[in-house]
Every structure is written in C-alpha cells, then in structure tokens.
Amino acid sequence: MSAPLYPEGPKLPHYDVVIVGGAIIGSSIAWFLSSNPDFDGSLLVIERDPSYEFASTSRTNSCVRQQFSTEINIRISQFTAEYVKNFKDYMGGDSEVPDLALDAFGYMYLADNEAFAAHLRTNQKLQASLGAGTKIYSPDEIVAAYPFYHVDDLILGSHNLKDEGYFEGSTMFEWWRRSARKKGAEYIHNEAVDIQLNKAGDRAETITLATGEHVSCGTLINAAGPRAAEFASLAGITLPIEPRKRFTWIFSAERPLDQPLPLTIDPSGIHMRQYGKSDYMAGSPPHTDPAAPFDDFEEDHHLWAEHVWPLIAARVPQFEAIRVTSSWAGHYAYNRLDHNAVLGAHTKVNNFIFANGFSGHGLQQSPAVGRGIAELVLYGTYRALDLSDFSYQRIEESRPLLETAII
C-alpha cells in the first residue's frame, strides 16, 4: 500500500468533527459522514503513520463471518456482507469503483470436547434464527465435504458457506479514504498529544498536535486502534484496551488441496485458510498473550516450527510438506473486559466518542461502525442498527457483553 502524502498541519483552527486515527475505522467514519447529505461541517482526520505499515488494518486477515455468539455481532456482519457485495452501489455507482468479491469458503469451527461442542450448537441455533447459513457437521460429514481433514479427535464442526470468507478489505479502505478526501475530509500526518477539557469537564474543547498546533473541535472521535487507551487517557478516561500480538504465515504446499480450505479454527487455537488460488494462510497468538509494546512487531519463528506447523500438519496431513513464503506480526486492539468494541459517547465527556477495542474483528465490522458513528454524530442516535450494547457505560459498570467467538 503506497503512502499517501498528507500535510502535517491543519488548514483550520476549528473543526466540527476531529477523528484521531485514519485507518479502517477512522476512514469508515470519515466516509459515512462526508457522504451523508445531512453533514455540511468540517472534518479532520489525524493519522500518525500515513504509510499504515504497522496498522492493524494492514495486517488483517480480511475476512468476515456470521459465526458469533451475540446477536448484534451477527447483525453487524450481515450488513458487512451486504455492503461488500454491493460496494459500488454504496459508493454512489461511480464507474471507477471496483466490485468487491466475497470469496465464501466459510469458517469451520472444530470441537474436540463436549463443552465446546455444546457451545457451537447453541451459537448455531442463534445464527440460523437470524438467517445465517451455519450448519453443524458430524466428523463423518466433515470428511465427506472436506476429505483432507483429520477428524478422529473431533466431536463436530460448525460451518457456514453463506456470506463468510475473504473480501478485499484493503480496496474498501482505499476507496473510503480516497472518497472521503474528495468530499472534503482533511487528512493530516500528525499526532494528538494532549486534550483540553472545558471547565465543567464534560466536553473536549481543544486538542494539541505533536507539531504544536491547537485545534478546537465540536466532536472528538477516538479511532486510534491499539493506541486507543493511550489517547483516551489524555482526557482522563480509562479504557481496558491494549495491543495484543498476533502472528500470520503464508505458505505453499507440496501437495495442494483439491478444493478451497475453509477458515479453520482448530481446537488448539491456531487457524488457517485458503489464500488466493494455491496458497494458504495460518495464524496464531503467542504462547503467552500479554499486552505488547506499541512498536513490537518482532516475529517468533520458533512458534511456527515448534507449535503451529505440527498442529497444521496434524489437522491436514497434506500440510506435512509446506514452505513459508511470507510472514508478519500484527496487533489486535484487545478489549480485556469482553472482547467487544466500545462505541458511542463517554458518560461524562459527552462529545468524546469511542470507536475502539474490536479485538480482531475491526475490519469486518467497519461498515456498520462507520455508519453508526456517523449517525450518532449527525442525529444523536443510531438509526439503521442499534449499537448501544457497545456503550462505554458497560465499561464503567464492569458489565461485559461477552463475545466468546474470538479467533
């Protein structure tokens, strides 16, 4: 992804809306706001690294699923699938906008114990009741559909071939950003280093940039990804969000599979999927999963050789002879409370809006989140899909909206 040339300094001393963070979430909000005919204000997006080299957006697996354990997350993903399949229409029918394909190889959750099997059965009932295509597969049914799996240790699988799989998230991101800028959103290469509240402490009035400028704002949106808690702390706000490291490997197989590999969530915690026509992608958390320093993207090659590869080969014996062609480490913006997003206004600083803590599913939730936050800014409420379950109030009350289907 080529680095856009953003200026450092803002053009104006005041903006109606300031978004801190210009990756997928910030750019989604910027696009939904700037493309809404009811918005005629000024909009500033502050991005600390316009190359996006280490942004979670650039290191995502770029997939969407409906296999969640909460209704609201399922509804969000259903809108994403609709949005992706009708991307050009949503972007105004511009002939230059490409169509986005959704490669629906599906997610395949595998259970090797009765407790997790029961959990998948419960989730499947919820998902199916909302229109998802999730089905429960016995081990024999798994092998009948996908003969390459080793299933002797399994109780069941949960699989959905309807609107689940890979889509070109990077293309969506690029067009959101490009279109938002054309519609008047101003992107700058800078960093917010301080927030000044009013005397009552119930509004963010001004932010200070790393280059020294002071910018006043009507609404301040936190879309700072793994740095969300650091930015919120400038306003005296606590967020239970931290960077968690995740590893990804791209590999080719000496004996490729005869059919696409679903995004397979193994009971061991590793996952793998089809990557293009003939390669594969695998991912894993580290052995221990503490908060990572913001600039720690060091890979763990021992993890691949000693842990991930043996597990992959045990599940798919054809992967005993493979070759890694690329690899990287990235960060989740991990919500320690419940692995779910934090959305909407702060309970006291009422013009400080959160769009944070997606815990690995930010890209796939970005269309609904961008639309919802734009509605909140413009109308003071959610209209198309009620996202109030993700409010900051649950953080203050330590009241988790627990999402158990986390990869």
Q: Are residues 250 and 315 in the same domain?
A: yes
65: region left, alpha or beta (phi > 0 left; psi from -120 to 50 alpha): beta
Residue 369: its pLDDT value, please?
98
Tens digits of per-residue pLDDT, 124-136? 999 999 999 999 9
Residue 53: its pLDDT value, please?
85
Q: Select from 317, 335, 353 the last residue of a domain.
A: 335
19-23, 39-43, 100-104, 323-327: which has the minimum mean pLDDT? 100-104
Domain assignment present for 88: no
Residue 1: its pLDDT value, please?
42
401's CB contacts (< 8 A; 6+ apart) are 70, 72, 338, 340, 389, 390, 394
Residue 61: its pLDDT value, please?
83
Judged against a pLDDT cut of 60, whether residue 2 lies above it is answered with no
Q: Are residues 35 and 120 in the same domain?
A: no
Residue 55: its pLDDT value, please?
83
Q: Are residues 276 and 230 in the same domain?
A: no
Q: What is the pLDDT averaged over residues 107-111?
A: 98
Query: Which of 162, 103, 110, 112 has the alpha carbon at shortest distance from 134?
Result: 162
Q: Are residues 311 and 253 in the same domain?
A: yes
Q: Are residues 315 and 254 in the same domain?
A: yes
Judged against a pLDDT cut of 90, whether residue 393 lies above it is answered with yes
Q: Are residues 328 and 246 in the same domain?
A: yes
Whichever domain contains 203, its CATH number is: 3.50.50.60
What type of residue sits at position 151?
V
Both tokens assigned to 272: 């793998």
Tens digits of per-residue pLDDT, 333-347? 999 999 999 999 999
Rounded Cα gap, residues 182 and 370, in angstroms: 17
Domain limits at 252?
Answer: 103-163+242-335
Judged against a pLDDT cut of 50, whether residue 180 lies above it is answered with yes
Q: Are residues 314 and 277 in the same domain?
A: yes
Query: Which of 71, 157, 161, 173 has the alpha carbon at shortest distance from 117?
Result: 157
Q: What is the mean pLDDT of the chain?
A: 95
Q: What is the pLDDT averaged over residues 360-372?
A: 96
User: Residue 277: how many CA atoms within 13 Å on its side-chain side?
Assistant: 0
What type of residue sits at position 95?
S
Whichever domain contains 141, its CATH number is: 3.30.9.10
Q: Are residues 270 and 315 in the same domain?
A: yes
- Count of structural domains within the chain: 2
Q: Are residues 255 and 303 in the same domain?
A: yes
333's CB contacts (< 8 A; 6+ apart) are 56, 225, 226, 228, 241, 243, 356, 357, 358, 359, 362
Residue 102: its pLDDT value, please?
92
Q: Select from 314, 335, 356 the last residue of a domain.
A: 335
Q: Is 214 helix (H, G, I), strand (E, B) or coil?
A: strand
Judged against a pLDDT cut of 80, whether residue 71 lies above it is answered with yes
Q: Map tokens 């919120």 to a residue.
A: 232
DSSP 398: T
Q: What is the pLDDT averaged over residues 48-67?
A: 87
Q: Are residues 192 and 247 in the same domain?
A: no
SS3 content of the chain, % helix, strand, coil (to 5): 30, 25, 45
CB 395 within 8 A of CB 222: no
CB 53 within 8 A of CB 161: no
Q: What percent of the chain has pLDDT over 90?
A: 93
52-66, 160-174, 353-367: which has the minimum mean pLDDT? 52-66
Q: Are residues 262 and 331 in the same domain?
A: yes
User: Residue 265: how many CA atoms within 13 Å on its side-chain side?
Assistant: 20
Concatenated DSSP letters of 274-317: EETTTEEEEEE--SS-PBPPTT-----HHHIIIIIHHHHHHHSG
Residue 4: its pLDDT value, please?
53
Domain assignment present for 363: yes
Both tokens assigned to 334: 């991990």
Residue 304: its pLDDT value, please?
97
Rounded Cα gap, residues 407 and 391, in angstroms: 23
Domain assignment present for 43: yes
User: Residue 132: how many CA atoms within 13 Å on its side-chain side?
Assistant: 35
Torsion of CA 293, 297, 302, 305, to 10 degrees: 140
Q: Select from 335, 352, 379 the last residue of a domain.
A: 335
Q: Are residues 157 and 274 in the same domain?
A: yes
pTM (2 d.p.): 0.96
Q: Are strands 204-209 and 342-345 parallel, antiparallel or unpaired?
A: unpaired
Widest pairwise Cα distance in the chain? 67
Judged against a pLDDT cut of 70, whether residue 297 lies above it is answered with yes
Torsion of CA 30, 32, 34, 35, to 10 degrees: 150
Residue 158: its pLDDT value, please?
98
Domain assignment present for 132: yes
Domain assignment present for 286: yes
Domain assignment present for 359: yes
Domain assignment present for 378: yes
**Distance spanning both ends of the chain, measured CA to CA:** 25
Domain assignment present for 40: yes
Rounded Cα gap, residues 343 and 362, in angstroms: 12
Rounded Cα gap, residues 215 and 166, in angstroms: 39
Residue 60: its pLDDT value, please?
83
Q: Is 35 helix (H, G, I), strand (E, B) or coil?
A: coil
Judged against a pLDDT cut of 90, whether residue 101 lies above it is answered with no
